[in-house]
Amino acid sequence: MVSDQKTGPSDDELVVRGAAGDQEALRLLVERWEGPIFAFTARMIGSYETAQDITQDVFLRVCRNAHRYRPSGRFKGWLFRIAGNMVRSRIRRSRIVRWVRFDSTVHDSPSPEKTADETIEADERKQAVRAALLKLPPRQRQAVALRYFEGMTYQEVAEAMEASVSAVESLLYRAMDGLKQCSLLKEARE
């Protein structure tokens, strides 16, 4: 993929310009990708505030290392590889996640069409599946986030994780197996 945007400069072009000192190009690049990277890190780490910190660090690293990127139309894979490594590093350092509650008050809001009981039940299910996701080993979690939330192909996930496609399939299989242990998720499927 060259760029998510149908118009405007490609990601590769922006990185090259950024590496040559063009701050405006770096700004455009950051604004183009901050949403997906924040969503990815938030799902991986389970906290919006921590995800904000990591997202900032990811883009700082991208800007500082723009000269290392070889334009090949694979900026997204390079970007998510940096993000994935930084999230896993943060998890290792802080030992944050065995159980982390999403700070859902920031983004979640009750649906007006649901009764109070339904809302509570839906919230419980969301919390349960989020907790189940966060209990997965970091690489399984990373594979789920890239594949199912970023919508990457198996090949793209493999590139972003510096793994083979079969290794990604194995990670996803085990991740799904882990999520099945979440009883509320089972109920949701029935």
Partner 1 sequence: MTLTHERIKDQLRLYVEGELPLEESEQVGHHLRDCPSCRRESEQLRAILELLGADAPEKPLRPVWPHVEKRLQKAETGRLTLISGVAAAAGLLIAVFIGQAPEQSEWDAQSPLGLALSAERDNVLMDFTQTADTEGGTHS
User: 74 near 34, Cβ under 8 Å?
Assistant: no
Sign of CA pseudo-dihedral 132, 133, 134, 138: positive
Task: Find the shortest distance in angstroms from Cβ 78 to partner 1.
Answer: 17
Q: 29: helix, coil or strand?
A: helix
Residue 119 interacts with partner 1 (CB under 8 A)? no
Residue 105: name the closest of 20, 59, 47 by CA: 47
Residue 133 interacts with partner 1 (CB under 8 A)? yes
Burial class of residue 81 (count of CB atoms within 10 Å of its CB; 0-12, 13-18, 19+): middle
Residue 180 interacts with partner 1 (CB under 8 A)? yes
Task: Find the shortest distance in angstroms from Cβ 135 to partner 1.
Answer: 14
Tokens 């994935």 appear where? 84
Task: Find the shortest distance in angstroms from Cβ 58 to partner 1.
Answer: 9
Residue 71 interacts with partner 1 (CB under 8 A)? no
Residue 118 interacts with partner 1 (CB under 8 A)? no
Six token digits for residue 142: 């990373």
Q: Could you count the other beta carbons within 10 Å of the beta carbon of residue 93?
A: 8
Minimum CB distance to partner 1 smaller for 96 or for 179:
179
Give the residues lining the site for partner 1 (CB under 8 A): 23, 26-27, 30-31, 34-35, 38-39, 42-43, 48-49, 51-52, 55-56, 59-60, 63-64, 104, 106-108, 125-126, 129-130, 133, 144, 147-149, 151, 153-154, 176, 179-180, 185, 188-189
